[in-house]
Amino acid sequence: MKNTIKPFLWAILMLLFAGSLFTSCNESEDPEDNQNTHGTALHNGFYVLCEGLYGRNNSSIDFYSIESRQTTTDLFLQVNSAGLGETANDMIEAGGKLFIAMCGSNCVMVADKATCRRLALIPIDKGDNPQPRCLAYSNGYVYLSCFDGNIHKINASTYRIEKTAKSFGRNPEAIAICQGRLFVANTGGLDYPNFDNSISVLDPDDLSLISKVEGFLNPGRIEVCGGSIIFQKRGTYDYASSSYKDSELIRLNAATLEVEQRAAVIVNDFTLAQNQLIYTYTDNNLKPYIMYLPLDNLSGTPQQFILSESEDLAGLMTPYHISSDNNYIYITDAKDYTNNGECRVYDHSGTLQYKFSTWINPTKVTAVQ
């Protein structure tokens, strides 16, 4: 999830100000509407999606070059002579393209991964202030969840929305495809504190409802793990520690929809890396921790992935988002949520490789080879 301030305080603000931000994404959805040819191919670095400040219309995509050890702040603006928009919430790579869910601007921006040049802008119907949230990709289609309760199926080649359907739950966010099924976490985040407690299982072809799994208050991030999904039951939010105080990690068989494993641990965000589940949390003294559990035994005893006294963790203030790929683990630090953030890149042993400043509220990271 991905937000200017902590997730559900942000959700409350979005409810209070719903409909007030229709910025930037008001252009043609024609993929040929932008003939900008600026931008050269980038290599050996990282894109970092940054939300910016809520209501300022200043989200960005930064680029860090490993060779020069320099960060280009808001590369998207420099390449396209136009900003990304309001409250970037999620970014995925699909077929050499970056798809970015713009929650405040009510659109999906599409950029060439090699150059960050804008390829298309896909407006989402603003009738009910949809608030795009999360993205998933499979078989040539990008799937988008929106806080208004809709799921959109977008052709990744033509950029056309080919199907829209309800999620069968309130305020859907995290989505993932596993075993030919689309899993959607229904949060109820705009109805705080009356959260939803369900995960919808949809047919990715026509977005019809296959089943619905209930009993997991305020479900969060979903990750695919073989024939299962692992998701976070966030529960209620504890503002004193900036954590979900009664959270759990749930492993659900994607075919039978039966719970295979569960771990009663405090989790802010998590990722799967090789044979481990690595997660972040903050204690009552606002001290951050990076922990791990073996994927084959989520009910085991959590261990520190990076020792809290390690220099590789020194200076980490507010772990905001954690993700991984075959080479690295990425932790973004939102600091105080109002000034520049930071991105940290670790190898799979937990050793810090790179650390660099970013624009405000960094979230998703994508490696550029």
**Alpha-helical regions (H) of the chain:** 7-16, 75-80
Cα separation of 124 and 313, whole Å?
A: 40
| Token representation of residue 155 | 């052709």
* Mean pLDDT value of segment 4-25: 43
For position 25, what pLDDT does the model report?
Answer: 61
3-state secondary structure 116-170: CCEEEEEECCCCCCCCEEEEEEECCEEEEEECCCEEEEEECCCCCEEEEEECCCC
Q: Which two tokens stand for residue 205?
A: 């072809």
Residue 39 has pLDDT above 90, yes or no: no
- Return the H-helix or E-strand segment holding 65: strand 60-65
3-state DSSP call for residue 310? coil
Secondary structure letter of residue 22 according to DSSP = -
Structure tokens given for 18: 């719903």
SS3 279: strand
Q: What's the rounded mean pLDDT across residues 203-217?
A: 97
Q: Running DSSP on this structure, what letter comes out for residue 366?
A: E
> At 9, is the pLDDT very low, low, confident or very high (cuts 50, 70, 90)?
very low
Residue type, 308: S
The pLDDT value recorded for residue 22 is 42
Q: Side chain identity at 244, as an amino acid letter?
A: Y
DSSP code of residue 192: T
pLDDT at 214 over 50: yes
Mean pLDDT of 302-319: 96
**Lowest-confidence pick of 24-28, 51-55, 365-369:** 24-28
Mean pLDDT along residues 329-341: 97
Reference 238, options 198, 199, 266; nearest CA is 266
Strand, coil or helix: 191: helix
| pLDDT band per the 50, 70, 90 thresholds, residue 6 | very low
- Residues 62, 337 contacting (CB under 8 angstroms): no
Q: How far apart are CA 194 and CA 196, in angstroms?
A: 7
Q: Is it the case that residue 13 has pLDDT exceeding 80?
A: no
Nearest to 334, CA basis, from 366, 277, 288: 288
CA dist 229 and 117 (Å) reads 34
Strand, helix or coil for residue 10: helix
255-281 pLDDT tens trace: 999 999 999 999 999 999 999 999 999
Higher pLDDT, 369 or 39: 369
Q: How many CB atoms lie within 10 A of CB 197?
A: 18
Among 5-9, 87-91, 98-102, 299-303, the range scoring the smallest mean pLDDT is: 5-9
Displacement of CA 316 from its chain's centroid (Å): 20
